[in-house]
Amino acid sequence: MQKNFTQLENFGHSLSAPSYLIKPTTTDEISEAFSIAKKLELTITARGAGRSYNDAALVGGGIVLDMCGMNAITEWDPSIGLITAQPGTTLEQVWQKVVADGWWPPVVSGTMTTTLGGCLAANIHGKNNYKMGPIGEHVVEFTALLPTGAEITCSPQRNGDLFYAMISGLGMLGIFTSVTMQMKRIHSGLLSVDAFPVRNLHEHLTSLLDGAPNYNYIVGWLDGTARGKSLGRGQIHATRYLNEGEDPNPQETMKVSNQVLPPRIFGVFPKSLLHYFMSPFMNNLGAWGINTAKYIASLRKHTFRQSHAAFHFLLDYVPNWEYSYGRGGLIQYQSFLPKETAEDAWQEMLQLSHRNGLPTYLGVTKRHRPDKFLLTHAVDGFSLAMDFKVIDKRRAELGVMLQEFDKIVIQAGGRFYFAKNSETTAETAQKFYGEETIAKFKKLKKRCDPKGLLESDLYRRIFE
Ligand SMILES: Cc1cc2nc3c(=O)[nH]c(=O)nc-3n(C[C@H](O)[C@H](O)[C@H](O)COP(=O)(O)OP(=O)(O)OC[C@H]3O[C@@H](n4cnc5c(N)ncnc54)[C@H](O)[C@@H]3O)c2cc1C
């Protein structure tokens, strides 16, 4: 078992914390890490691929369990689409295992680098959340090691309370050791995408709402630099699976080699260098230029076919793109609002960002529906994710603005997702989770982790 002391960062490179890093490769080694933590009176948190934008996988002065060493796919049954894998297995490994057999993960994040353990702990959503729910709804069973030493198996029928609390539980009740999931049948390696522009926030949200039932996935890009009558303009990508027979050669399009993203742009320029060329544009003027050019380019309504990987993992096209934000990194702020209040609340937030001279450089919208998980972030409405550049001398101002956003969201009956926001306080969390939910979670925490061994910086921020 590897151990060392290191400074770890969040995905956006806007936070960091010194920790002891332990890389277990077996459940026994996780158990050993719990013993070390108890002996040294340290707290402990699991880390998957470290793709959370906030402090979910950091614990200052504690032990971080790097789960990436436990990444074997232990069972795959292509006749029924059931996969079992260790928690450090990435979504990339999963889709590459199943796609050629005509299956695809039912829910994926916007990057394929995330691990199953991280995806369950956050209960990730995809661009199909309004239809397929979060990833937890496709988990048939998982096993986990609790800090008490108990190894448990959970499914909706067995230990149901822990099933619905550990999925979404931010890694604070136990460590996932194995996950069994149902994949989704596909009949082609391609998707059919309708791309069309939306001129303002009202049209944007109406298109998501009206379009969603007719498609398998829907997602919007929002130009966070547009103002006035164009506030909230952008482009919608509404996407559907191909039916059996629509793709003349599905065996070919479902090959992994026809899904993977090319390593070079135009066959020449290495994508890994692209972020250096993006850096000079990461300021208000550059972001306005890029967003405006993108909007103009999106004015042509068109339909095209795209591989599953290219559609879902657009952000992976530019490896290390987050470095283009410079030394201070970025903060992603994602709010979830009911469909009745979203437009007014986001109008207020976008206008506030312009008044402060702190526009979002990238905005992404999605359609959602509620789910049964204890720490759910979803609503019957929409989400808007906004990326903000962190400039050292304006960091405090940005923090104050995001606190203002929190107030607007709470007032509008919204929720937050703790794979993202890094400024939200315990008081705000209590308001949207509600006292009953927090009490239920804390009761389970006492049962699974009576000595409070599992603790992340996020947990300290929102629960203590
Ligand atoms: C470019 C990008 C796009 C994204 N797109 C989306 C999206 O579309 N939808 C979405 O929902 N999210 C999205 N995310 C967020 C991401 O999916 C979540 O933050 C996810 O939790 C990251 O997984 P990870 O393996 O990196 O986990 P980490 O960030 O390392 O950890 C996340 C949480 O999981 C816990 N954890 C990790 N492993 C275990 C384990 N074995 N047992 C118990 N707890 C564990 C950690 O303690 C922590 O609380 C995106 C992130 C990025 C960087």
**Mean pLDDT computed over 58-78:** 97
- Banded pLDDT at 268 (limits 50, 70, 90): low
* Predicted TM-score of the model (pTM): 0.96
C-alpha to C-alpha distance for 401 and 414, rounded to whole angstroms: 17
Q: How far is the CA of 109 from the centre of ligand 1 (A)?
A: 9
Ligand 1 atom at minimum distance from 316 CA = 1
Closest CA to 149 of 251, 13, 22, 35: 35
Domain 70-185 belongs to what architecture? 2-Layer Sandwich (3.30)
The encoded tokens of residue 430 equal: 């209590």
Which atom of ligand 1 is closest in space to residue 46's alpha carbon?
A: 47
Do residues 104 and 186 touch, judged by C-beta distance below 8 A?
yes
Once rounded to an integer, what is the mean pLDDT over residues 204-225? 98
Separation CA 110–CA 220 (nearest Å): 13
Cα(197) to centroid of ligand 1, in Å? 30
CA 380 to ligand 1 center in whole angstroms: 23
Q: Mean pLDDT over residues 83-87, rounded?
A: 98
CA-nearest residue, atom 1 of ligand 1: 111
pLDDT tens sequence across 125-166: 999 999 999 999 999 999 999 999 999 999 999 999 999 999
Cα separation, 350 vs 30, in Å, equals 45
CA nearest 164: which of 379, 370, 369, 373?
373
Ligand 1 atom nearest to 417, measured from its CA = 11
CA of 375 relative to ligand 1 center, distance in Å: 15
Burial of 401 (0-12, 13-18, 19+ CB in 10 A): buried
Position in ligand 1 atom list of the atom nearest CA 51: 26
Gap from CA of 56 to ligand 1 centroid (Å): 8
Q: Ligand 1: which residues within 6 Å by Cβ?
A: 11, 45-52, 56-57, 67, 87, 109-111, 114-115, 117-119, 121-122, 124-125, 170-171, 175-176, 315, 419, 456
Q: What pLDDT is recorded for position 266?
A: 58
Amino acid at 236: I
The residue among 329, 349, 326 whose CA lies nearest residue 411 is 349
Question: What is the pLDDT, as a whole number, of residue 164?
Answer: 98
Helices marked H in 254-323: 274-278, 284-297, 308-312
| Residue 265: predicted pLDDT | 64
Evaluate whether 272 touches 261 at the Cβ level (below 8 Å): no
Mean pLDDT of the chain: 95
Domain 190-427 falls under CATH 3.40.462: yes
CA gap 234, 220 in Å, rounded: 7
Q: From ligand 1's centre to the CA of 54, what distance in Å? A: 10
CATH: 3.50.50.60, 3.40.228.10, 3.30.43.10, 3.40.50.1370. Which one for 2-68+444-463? 3.30.43.10
φ, ψ of residue 95 in degrees (nearest 5): -65, -35
CA angle (106 as vertex; 104, 112 as ends), nearest 5: 70
Predicted pLDDT at 278: 86
pLDDT of residue 277: 83
Q: Give φ, ψ of 238 to 5 degrees.
A: -110, 125
Tokens standing for 377? 């972030």
Q: Please check the confidence at residue 396 and state whether its pLDDT lies above 70.
A: yes
Residue 416 Cα to ligand 1 midpoint, Å, equals 15
Give the 3-state secondary structure of residue 153: strand
Q: Among the atoms of ligand 1, which is closest to the Cα of residue 47?
A: 30
DSSP state, residue 378: -
Q: How far is CA 170 from CA 45, 364, 373, in A?
A: 10, 23, 12
List the residue whose alpha carbon is closest to atom 14 of ligand 1. Answer: 109
Expressed in angstroms and rounded, the spacing between residue 75 Cα and the centre of ligand 1 is: 23
For the residues 366-388, what does the mean pLDDT come to? 98
- pLDDT for the residue 464: 81
Closest C-alpha among 397, 207, 197, 363 to residue 290: 363
| Domain locations along the chain | 2-68+444-463, 70-185, 190-427
